[in-house]
Structure 1
């Protein structure tokens, strides 16, 4: 059978080679590798991004670091009470963020709150005040909470929230957290969750979702349904800073808060 240049190119694109009979002229063998086809064969669609544990991402990013460097911190933090945990966060020098911070941002709210809100990393205002979600994003969050009868101020546990971030130090110039930074700070967040024992968790933003759900999926794919963090119902929503840039999604965020509230009503 005589193959055309286009047919040979398509076979080669599929990983197949054209058989050349013994004694074929050199020109015929050379002709089995023609130029690229006129219309390239479309590649199969890329597989959906899998759920990737943040620990795995950290291990890949920080493979040069000895694993033993992370284990002692996690083991010690898991036994701390509130006062010791706050002191440990304030004195932490586990990563380079301690060099540029003004102060650590521990968290705020009722230590027995029914709601726990987890954000991403402190920004400039949070770094200056030592409190999560201040400035315009914090004002929007407070307004959203107020609409549900919730507050970060002094109130009974069922009306007050506890707010914490995945990172306790501000990344320089508000850049995204590095996987190794998230891993080194994760024991603090896990201990806060264990001490609060919330009835519902609201994860706000991509890095909060990565830390709690071990997922790289987009917020839009994860919101609107109930997830679980160690048995605790968890609802995913947009970060208030994102909502300030994309106000059209505020309605979706309100739906997420109502979903979280409905879990407590049950």
Structure 2
């Protein structure tokens, strides 16, 4: 099997649309199987990366693990690791306290974030700010906000597995630099990908998790955009937020300033 055919097969297994050209010259979407669960996605991403990664790519991933904040932000701004770079206006690196106690992670920037280069702005960002104030936190102080993807997917579609895989080294380095006390994963896609599970959001919200290969606790809740559409679930989100309070610790404000 050729490299192109093998990669096409892996993309099909992930449920990523594969476009083929008909005899009339018009592209159409090929028939794909049902999307696999998240465990298969992680396994398939590993296969894709193993079969197509160059020595230069492996070296780049290793190099990212040693970048400081300034160099990491510059690397993201110039990133061309996946096709999302072709249509972005701005990369969305992240914003907030770089010694934060709480790291909030969503899945991807939207249209307004793409224009401004900042995550969680607009109405969803305003609601997130209200949620943080409810537990005596605020954007820019003791909180850092980021997404898995640093570029907006076209049409605000869901992130694709390979795109998230290419951005993960950046997020891993942000986590290593911040050393947060706790991570708040908002939304099903972000939670499932970060925790490497296919459990539904309802089940993920009801348990405490740890970021893989670390001792950092992870609390899962609804994405603010979802809460804007479904305000009846704001009470459940408040229950999630209350679980953050003991994990943050009473002395965390002072300690974060010394990180």
TM bin (shorter chain): 0.7 to 0.9
1:258 aligns with one of 235, 239, 242: 242
1:207 corresponds to 2:189 = yes
Alignment of 1:65-84 (within 5 A): 66-68=52-54, 70-84=57-71
Residues 54, 210 of structure 1: 8 Å contact kept: no
How many corresponding residue pairs? 212
Residue 116 of structure 1 aligns to a residue in which SS?
A: strand
In structure 1, the residue matched to 2:103 is 116
1: CA distance, partners of 2:109 / 2:69: 20
Alignment of 1:73-222 (within 5 A): 73-153=60-140, 155=141, 160-222=142-204
2: CA distance, partners of 1:133 / 1:65: 35
Q: Structure 2 unaligned runs (5+)?
A: 1-35, 251-259
2: CA distance, partners of 1:170 / 1:129: 12
What's the CA shift string for 1:109-137, capped at 9, x where partnerless? 01001000011100000000100000111
2: CA distance, partners of 1:53 / 1:191: 25
Residues 113, 121 of structure 2: 8 Å contact kept: yes
In structure 2, the residue matched to 1:241 is 225
TM-score, normalised on structure 1?
A: 0.75
Residues 97, 170 of structure 1: 8 Å contact kept: yes
Deviation at 1:161, TM superposition (A): 0.3
1: CA distance, partners of 2:152 / 2:144: 19
Residues 53, 210 of structure 1: 8 Å contact kept: no
2: CA distance, partners of 1:248 / 1:106: 31
Q: Structure 1 unaligned runs (5+)?
A: 1-48
In structure 2, the residue matched to 1:27 is none
The structure with the largest alpha-carbon Rg is: 1
RMSD of aligned C-alpha atoms?
1.9
